[in-house]
A and B are shown apart, each in its own frame.
Chain A
Amino acid sequence: MTTTLTEVDREAQAPKGRVRRPKAARAGGTLHAGPVAYGILALFTIGSLFPLVWTAIAASRDNQRLAETPPPFWFGSNLMDNLEIAWKDANLGEAFLNTTIVAGISAVTIVVLSTIAGFAFAKLRFKGRNALMLIVIGTMMVPPQLSVIPLYMMVAELDWTDQLQAVILPSIVSAFGVFFMRQYLLQALPDELIEAARVDGASSWRVVWHIVFPAARPAMAVLGMLMFVQTWNDFLWPFLVLTQTGNPTVQVAVAGLGRGYTPDQSLIMAGALLGTLPLLLVFAIFGKQIVGGIMQGAVKG
């Protein structure tokens, strides 16, 4: 009984669409959680959500009320006004559009390139495969901050300051993506399928198009969401090359609200709320798949 439970659960980690599991098999381990465990979980739940909820509370108040003791615990009536002013002050409309473009292009490119490379590493035999894979894993350890100075010089040289391509280009490569797709394709793509296509005379590119992409679709979706979240939240590099007035991303715009001379805290909170809301919505809808994706990427192979 116990082994079947874990097997079912492990299978459920693989994002293979929505598979209804029997109710008894929902949980991970074999031991039932007691009240202490639920208590700790409740604490962590409150800790995780409280700052987010409080952002909304602060955004719905006026600045006066935020500077009183005790701080407000419940929503006020200024939410819509604050959101509207913050939207205008921080140039958030343009920022949303910019960030969507940046994160969208980055995510799609990363997913496609990672899938192709991951397929080669998982299923094709070629000289130097293991060495190259080690390099890929090694690059995950190189901190991105080390390259910002020459990248900045390049961007300045190309006159790309405040241009979106300056943000997009360095972010379309992801070692994690290659690793993630390799792990997935190792399990999810049967060798027989590739061999059958080979026998039918399919070239490698046809195999990628007709077999690898369809087989990898669930993992591609998860990786796409992870990379979208990551690029959306990226701060250091956009902060260096974009200005708040030029072509800001949401993070640059929101940070600008906090760093400007706007003393109005409720406006800053409204901006922070607007900057966070789209991703929280994505999480509310696809949270289960994203969780599964992170857990799948974490298991080594």
Chain B
Amino acid sequence: MTTGHDTAAASPAKEGGAAPARPSAGAPVSDKERRRRARLSRRWQRDMRFSPYAFVSPFFLLFLAFGLFPLVYTGWASLHQVELTAPTDMNWVGLRNYTRIFDDDFFWNAARNTLTIGIISTVPQLLMALGLAHILNYKLRASTFYRVVMLAPYATSIAAASLVFVLLFGRDYGMINWALGAVGVDNIDWQNDKWPSQIAVSVIVIWRWTGYNALIYLAAMQAIPQDLYESAALDGANRWQQFVHVTLPSLRPTILFTVVVSTIGASQLFGEPLLFDANKGASGGSQHQFQTLGLYLYEQGWVNQHLGRASAIAWTMFLILIVIGIVNYVISRRLRASS
């Protein structure tokens, strides 16, 4: 980043800062003093030119080491046979890891599960967060209290939350089945039936993140200029129409942001399905009924010890995310064009 620019070429004025060491015009200065000032001035210019790069470089160096390099290296490893037992021993196999996972029914099962769990956790979560933010935007008694309480699940770790929900969702003695039984619903096997288990995993995600997203929406709502609502009210818009025609359009960038972040989060889902498993394995239930891609990656890499294949899964997930990102971008452009 800090390529060898000629430091003397840039005048201090161009850099936008005042240079205190410059000799004031007309004042008699000795030769020695002039040299001292010139030296200070050069140091000043170097400072102005290079310090910004010095300030941002730790981030980029660390990101290179722990973000970008591993990302690229994962792609490289995905073309090799690598075993967990000897991670430095790499044999080139070309695309065989990819064909192997694409031939694996459990991969497609995991992809489908990730998609369905992603949808049933993200959609209700963001809709509830939107409604919640709308209510929190009213004039409320003890509004700070609600905000802090809604955020408490966010402070709870995946590990603790998942373990608690395992108990709450217990088939025979769980609180949720007991409550459902009180209204005449038979016991549901939340851990072993396909849809109930996916819903249960989603509930953990929804519980942890709804309040957080609500706060983000609330912040964006409070940034909407009040006169937009006043003019809408003058035009005879009722509250619902104001919400649809003023709040939602103003919130569009924020909504897009939360959709992207939640999508990424949902595609990575790991801890919740891992700990929700009654068999304590990485298969996402006895029938793989809630095995996500994240869990499948872990199973291939750390249980079956095929790091090369796990890398291929990781890169497939990355490509899927890029596709989702592009789709999101196209949709948001369409929306912007149509409004």
Which residues of A approach B to under 8 Å, CB–CB? Answer: 2-3, 6, 9-10, 13, 26-33, 37-38, 40-41, 44-45, 47-49, 51-52, 54-55, 58, 66-71, 113-114, 116-117, 119-121, 124-126, 128-129, 132, 135-136, 139, 141-154, 156-157, 169-170, 172-173, 175, 178, 195, 198-201, 203-205, 208, 229, 232-233, 235-236, 239-240, 250-252, 254-255, 257-259, 265, 268-269, 271-273, 275-276, 279-280, 282-284, 287-288, 290-291, 294-296, 298-300
Report B275-308 CB contacts with A as 1/0, cut-off 8 Å.
1000010000000000000100100011000010
Q: Are A280's CB and B155's CB within 8 A? A: yes
**Stretch of B28-36, B103-111, B189-197, B263-271 at the chain-chain interface:** B263-271
User: Is B153 close to A, CB under 8 A?
Assistant: yes
Q: Are B137's CB and A29's CB within 8 A? A: yes
Given A9-B222, A235-B159, A296-B219: 7 more A-B contacts, CB < 8 Å:
A28-B221, A120-B56, A146-B318, A157-B88, A239-B271, A283-B155, A295-B218
With A132-B60, A141-B260, A290-B151 known to touch, is A232 a contact of B157 (CB < 8 Å)? yes
With A173-B63, A288-B148 known to touch, is A37 a contact of B135 (CB < 8 Å)? yes
Residues of chain B lying within 8 A (CB to CB) of residue A58: 164, 167
> Taking CB as reference atom, which chain B residue is nearest A51?
B164
List residues of B (253-273) whose CB comes within 8 Å of A's CBs: 253-254, 257, 260, 264, 267-268, 270-271
Residues of chain B lying within 8 A (CB to CB) of residue A37: 135, 138, 140
Q: Are A71's CB and B56's CB within 8 A? A: no
Q: Are B220's CB and A299's CB within 8 A? A: yes
In the complex, number of A-B residue pairs with CB atoms less than 8 Å apart: 339
> Taking CB as reference atom, which chain B residue is nearest A25?
B139
Q: How many residues of B contact A (CB 8 A)?
A: 113
List residues of B (130-150) whose CB comes within 8 Å of A's CBs: 131-132, 135-140, 143-144, 146-150
> Taking CB as reference atom, which chain A residue is nearest B88?
A157
CB distance from A125 to the nearest CB of B (A): 6
Q: Which of B18, B218, B221, B318 contacts A198 (CB 8 A)?
A: B18
Residues of chain B lying within 8 A (CB to CB) of residue A45: 146, 149-150
Which residues of B approach A to under 8 Å, CB–CB? Answer: 1, 15-18, 20-21, 44, 47-49, 51-56, 58-60, 62-63, 66-67, 69-71, 73-74, 77, 82, 87-88, 131-132, 135-140, 143-144, 146-168, 172-175, 178, 207, 210-212, 215-216, 218-223, 226-227, 229-230, 239, 253-254, 257, 260, 264, 267-268, 270-271, 274-275, 280, 294, 297, 301-302, 307, 310-311, 314-315, 317-318, 321, 325
